[in-house]
Amino acid sequence: MQSVENTDTRTIPATQLAAFEHDGAATTEILALFDSLPPVSIAALRGRWRGSGLPSGHPMDGLLERFGWYGKEFNGPEDVQPLLCRGRGGKIFGLNPAFIPMGLVSRHVGLFHNRFAGAAFALSARAAGTARPTARLRMTEFRGVVTATMIYDCLPIQDMFRAVACDVLLGVMDLRGMAQPFFFVLRRESGWSPRPARESGKAI
């Protein structure tokens, strides 16, 4: 058996995260992992990241995937696409969060897990597409540590990030009025490069 002294401690968070992604975990367990991770700088976020929810028994578990969420793109502190979605034909586009009725979603989240709701969203989502930034990045304190935070322009939501590895982040979504935090994972895409301004609604 390998001794604790010889264990590469850098692999422990990644192994724990993989187990949580496979089996799910309680909110307290994921927060304990989050608290053990180092903070993230704004500069370290630059790039496009593929996203996935982390099951914790939250009412929103699986909802983003049902609605075609792809990930996030960080071009700079003032230029963030928080909701990249995959549309028909595999096209990736930025969704304008202003069109998401978060109050209704948080109060009646069960209705939005219906497969018909997902299909209806897929048909209408491109009309809500935008190439304009719809969130910002700031360094804020969360759970006693200052780390990179994504702040939506039009929703009472902040996403705080900690580093599992240089290309893997654990995120916590904090929504006003939501008692339980929502967790997600971001993995950096290779080969990303910043793009010039895009026309609204066009695929990225």
Beta pairing partners, 168: 165, 187
pLDDT above 60 (res 4): no
| Mean pLDDT of the chain, nearest integer | 82
Looking at per-residue pLDDT, the higher value among 6 and 169 belongs to 169
Tell me the average pLDDT across 42-61: 94
Report for 3-7, 8-12, 79-83: range of highest mean pLDDT: 79-83
pTM comes to: 0.80
User: How far apart are the C-alpha atoms of 86 and 90, rounded to whole Å?
Assistant: 6
Q: Apex CA 74: angle with CA 163 and CA 102, to 5°?
A: 90
**Which tokens go with 7?**
């264990």
Give the contacts of 10 (CB within 8 A, at least 6 positions apart).
165
Residue 153: DSSP 8-state: S
Tell me the average pLDDT across 56-80: 89
Greatest Cα pair distance, the chain, in angstroms, is 58
Query: Residue 108: how many CA atoms within 13 Å on its side-chain side?
Result: 6
User: How far apart are the C-alpha atoms of 175 and 157, rounded to whole Å?
Assistant: 5
pLDDT at 197: 46
**Could you tell me what percentage of the chain is helix, strand and coil, using 3-state DSSP and rounding each to the nearest 5?**
30, 35, 35
Crossing angle of helices 27-36 and 11-23, in 10° steps, is 160
Calculate the alpha carbon distances from 183 to 27, 62, 160, 171 in Å.
9, 11, 10, 6
